[in-house]
Amino acid sequence: MTTAELARILRATDLFGSVPAEDLEAAAAASRLRVFRRGQVVCTAGDPGETVIVVVSGRLRVVVRSADGGELTLTVIQPGGVFGELAAVDGGPRSADAETLEESSLLLIPREMVQDICARVPAAAMALARSVAAILRRLTENASDLVFLDLPRRVAKVLLSQPRDEDGVIRLKMSQEQLAHQAAGTRQSVNAVLRGFEKRGWIEAHDRLMTVKQPAALARFAGN
């Protein structure tokens, strides 16, 4: 991609949307566009947080792992989303692993470039602060769900959090194992929950494709 094309990608993000054109072009020129295959590890917890990553295409899963191999998916970043804001703020290492759920194009922006722009552009600094605040709110909500919600309600919330297609319908684009990692359950227990939802007519499964048929009913069940 050309520098101008990369600058347009940056302009479409919440973090860089208000940055002056010359700064966008400088950031684009200093960035690297890389393609990762499905399931490839982008970074692991403890790695130096040297870049802020923009998901150009594909999806990026952010996950924490225990010493015995347990996994908890913190979030899935869709195209246009950003990963690595914490490192841009404090200069620290990665706090979680990140891996691709499908073939993905990622734009890697040097952390120093982001910090320089935020130091000179107040709107960019505010956008970075809002992004970090959103991360904190999401993690607080996730922690609350783990303590106060049972597995079926956590699964319902994960289903409702998925992006909608152009027709407004939620179609699950993750495996049951990935869903289990995000809902903090086992694959077997999540499968049982999904069968219960299907019997109630809330979801429909067909050829590994799951569609939410009654989002309002799921939302009431989840307590939203």
Q: What is the pLDDT of residues 54-94, one digit of tens each?
A: 999 999 999 999 888 888 999 999 999 999 999 899 999 99
Three-class DSSP labels, 123-150: HHHHHHHHHHHHHHHHHHHHHHHHHHCC
Q: Report the pLDDT value the prediction gives residue 191, as an integer from 0 to 100.
A: 93
Mean pLDDT calculated for residue range 115-126 = 94
Residue 217 vs residues 53, 184, 201: alpha-carbon distances, Å: 36, 22, 10
Domains of the chain (ranges plus CATH)?
3-146 (2.60.120.10), 150-222 (1.10.10.10)
- pLDDT of 101 > 80? The answer is yes
Specify the pLDDT at position 112: 95
Cα four-point dihedral sign 6, 7, 9, 10? positive
Cβ contacts of 164-171, under 8 Å, gap ≥ 24: 169/211, 169/212, 170/211, 170/212, 170/215, 171/209, 171/210, 171/211, 171/212
Q: Looking at residues 163-189, what average pLDDT do you find?
A: 87
Give the pLDDT confidence score for residue 215 in this predicted structure: 93
Q: State pTM to two decimals.
A: 0.82
